[in-house]
Structures are given as C-alpha cells and as structure tokens.
Amino acid sequence: DAGITQSPRHKVTETGTPVTLRCHQTENHRYMYWYRQDPGHGLRLIHYSYGVKDTDKGEVSDGYSVSRSKTEDFLLTLESATSSQTSVYFCAISSSTDTQYFGPGTRLTVL
C-alpha cells in the first residue's frame, strides 16, 4: 500500500470553528489531492497540489483552503466549519497525472 496517512481519522466539531486536516505521504509523490465523499455523490475534488506551494481549486473548493509547504504534507483547512461540510475526506497522491492512491480517510462531523 502507498504510504499515506491522514490525521485525525475522526473529528467532531461545532459550527463556526476552524478545522485542519493533515495528509502525510512517504512516497515523495509530486501530486496531492483532497476529495470529499458524500452519499449520492461520487468523490469530488476540493483542492489539489502539483508541487510545494503550488495548489489550485477543484470543483467544490468554497469554504476550504489548502497549504503545501513540504512535499510530504498537504493540509486542508475549513476556516469556519458548517454542517454542510460534514463528510468523509480523502487525501490522494500521484507520481504522475494518472493513477491516484488514497489515504484511509477522515470522518468529520460538524454539529
């Protein structure tokens, strides 16, 4: 399995609080991604990174920001969490623009 970890694995928070999710990889892959998965939807891309300090928006980026200061870490921040951001968040990595490998996921509940 690809060396990808996510932390925390589970989090419950309240509306309006900031939340940061961390994705860490040991594969030295260039590309990293954040997705969310919700019932009735396929995985949807939030943000992605194509190198250190190089990031861009995906299809559902509103309310989220990201940072990548090191190759191995990609952080996803919810500046002010809302109930609509309750979801399962997956990080993925890729060495090319092709096959992606996923981390174990973070279950976030916003009350």
Partner 1 sequence: RKEVEQDPGPFNVPEGATVAFNCTYSNSASQSFFWYRQDCRKEPKLLMSVYSSGNEDGRFTAQLNRASQYISLLIRDSKLSDSATYLCVVLDRGSTLGRLYFGRGTQLTVWP
**Footprint on this chain of partner 1 (rule: CB under 8 A):** 31, 40-45, 48, 50, 56, 58, 90, 97-105
32 neighbors 92 (Cβ within 8 angstroms): yes
Shortest Å distance, C-beta 30 to partner 1: 9
Pairing of strands 106-110, 87-94: antiparallel
Shortest Å distance, C-beta 37 to partner 1: 9
What the block records as the tokens of 97 is: 């623009």
CB of residue 45 vs partner 1: minimum separation in angstroms?
6
Q: Which is nearer to partner 1, 48 or 110 (CB)?
A: 48
Q: Report how far residue 4's alpha carbon sits from residue 13's, in angstroms, rounded to the nearest whole number.
A: 24
